[in-house]
Amino acid sequence: MISSLGFSFRPLVLVTAAAFIFFFLSLTHVSPVRPWTASLWQPSLRLTGQAQETDPNAPLCRHLAGAEDVVVVMRTGATEIQNKLPVHLRTTFKCYPDTLIFSDYAEVFEGHQVYDVLVDVDHRIREVHPDFEHYHRLQELGRLGLEDHELHSESIESGPVGKNDNPGWRLDKWKFLPMIVRTLELRPNQKWYVFVEPDTYLVWTNLIQWLQTLNPGRASYYGSEVQIGNDIFAHGGSAFVLSNAAMNKAADIYTAHPDEWHSRTAQHWAGDCILGTALKQAGVKLTWAWPMFQGGNPTYMKWNDSKPEKQVWCTPALSYHHFLADEVERMWTFEQHRLRGLLSRIARPPSSSSSWRREESVMYHSDVFKQFILPDIPTERMAWSNMPPDDNLPHIPQLSMDACRRVCEVNDQCVQYSAGPDGCSVTNMANLGHAAEGMESAWMSDRIETWLYEMDKCRRRGWIHW
């Protein structure tokens, strides 16, 4: 009788156990239904044990546990290095324990070695291809011999086929595959390789936490997915990440058939696309990581952009693009202040008020807006446009600022407006904007509060949606 009773309950026990296991998996980052979700049990921010012993004067961001497994690789060029690299050397590079800088000209720049990544490209290509005319001129005259018109200091958007009027930009596409090979020669044993440009901003505190949820043993390729023709690849300016295994696969396919890949590069305009194609042929698929990796600048982003199950506002921030030097400095200062506060709170003994500290350690795009952008938004501002640079919004011609305000007031969804030579523009998206002579902008503070409430509905407290 006892045996019979035990047998009759066995299916119920098994079903209960299976349900518990499935529920547990659904709460962790290994969930079959939430492969990019981490729970409250995810590792939080913490410092390495030797943080104070190794360099007591270094910022806390340099000693985050897990950072020792990462090398940050910056790809730049002689036409921009003077204007764009110095701010990183005094800010973001202080956080990275391991860095490499690749360019089209070898030099020691403010104490940092800059490698010429094109020196090993087949001399037959370098001697005959017109893209390398600038390279030969650079090697002959040096960076200081460049003319003013050859230099560019600001981050500007590429056109449909890049920035072909810039000789440094035309040369840039040739750097990607050689950069992979040279990086492996210099850093063969790192787990993760993060590639950036000078106008990229990495949210370092988030990146380190996110990488700890991934398997470094797999051949992995992460980034913000973009498409040219039939090719889907990670956008270079938004930053992209490769595991050690993926790096080796890309290097192998390039070094085995260099002529083929040089021919492909010569016929294309986007080096990040060529790299993505090489990785795909090597069997490494891109893991789509937008909107964590972001091609926009938070001063004028489309915060409600979304794809199925992914919305910018409610996704952790890993990177931004098109940052000017002063924006890099301000964002870095903001992130360091936030990190000090987080580590202070995490160090406190557990209490009933600390149950959400794991989620608190992750900074969402919405947090960037609320904590970094919103405090700088005034009620009105002269010589300023709060519309995006690629403003495709309709303009109402010949309206004064007062008339523009009335247009906004009668539109319940309008949260800000701007008036200038082209007329009046209104929008239902809050943004800080940028300096613009002849423009005047204003924001509806009460409506922005309502807008924030509506935007926050996609947040579910307790989950970290990597």
Continuous H helices in 27-122:
51-54, 81-89
pLDDT single digits (tens) 247-297: 999 999 999 999 999 999 999 999 999 999 999 999 999 999 999 999 999
Check residue 253 and give its pLDDT.
98
CB 400 within 8 A of CB 344: no
56: confidence class by pLDDT, cuts 50, 70, 90 = confident
Q: What is the C-alpha to C-alpha distance for residues 69 and 190, in angstroms, rounded to an integer? A: 6
Task: Report the SS3 class of residue 88.
Answer: helix
Cβ atoms within 10 A of the Cβ of 399, count? Answer: 18
Has residue 165 got a pLDDT over 80? Answer: no
Segment 124-132 long-range contacts (CB within 8 Å, at least 24 positions apart): 125/174, 125/262, 125/266, 129/266, 131/170, 131/171, 131/173, 131/174, 131/266, 132/171, 132/174
pLDDT single digits (tens) 169-224: 889 999 999 999 999 999 999 999 999 999 999 999 999 999 999 999 999 999 99
pLDDT single digits (tens) 9-40: 344 444 444 444 444 444 333 333 233 444 33
In angstroms, the Cα distances linking 214 to 35, 66, 243, 354, 466 are 10, 12, 10, 25, 10
Q: Which residue has the higher pLDDT, 162 or 147?
A: 147
Rounded to the nearest integer, the mean pLDDT of the chain is 86
Has residue 52 got a pLDDT over 70? Answer: no
CB 86 within 8 A of CB 153: no
Task: Report the SS3 class of residue 55.
Answer: coil
Most confident of 93-102, 141-150, 385-394, 419-428: 93-102
Check residue 459 and give its pLDDT.
78
Check residue 50 and give its pLDDT.
64
362: confidence class by pLDDT, cuts 50, 70, 90 = very high
pLDDT single digits (tens) 440-456: 999 999 999 999 999 99
Q: What is the DSSP string of 294-311?
A: -SS-TTS--TT-EETTEE
Check residue 390 and give its pLDDT.
72
Domains in the chain and their CATH numbers? Answer: 51-313 (3.90.550), 379-461 (3.50.4.10)
Check residue 150 and give its pLDDT.
74
pLDDT single digits (tens) 323-361: 999 999 999 999 999 999 988 887 776 654 444 455 578
Has residue 366 got a pLDDT over 70? Answer: yes
For residue 311, the cross-strand partners are 306
Check residue 15 and give its pLDDT.
42
Cα-flanking dihedrals φ and ψ of residue 11, to 5°?
A: -60, -40
Has residue 47 got a pLDDT over 90? Answer: no
Q: What percent of the chain stands above pLDDT 70?
A: 82
Check residue 123 and give its pLDDT.
93
Check residue 344 and give its pLDDT.
83
C-alpha angle 448/327/306, rounded to 5°?
Answer: 50
Check residue 411 and give its pLDDT.
96
Q: What is the C-alpha to C-alpha distance for residues 271 and 170, in angstroms, rounded to an integer? A: 10
Question: Nearest to residue 317, comparing CAs of 335, 336, 340?
Answer: 335
Check residue 36 and give its pLDDT.
41
Has residue 83 got a pLDDT over 70? Answer: yes
Has residue 404 got a pLDDT over 50? Answer: yes
Check residue 169 and give its pLDDT.
85
Check residue 380 and give its pLDDT.
98
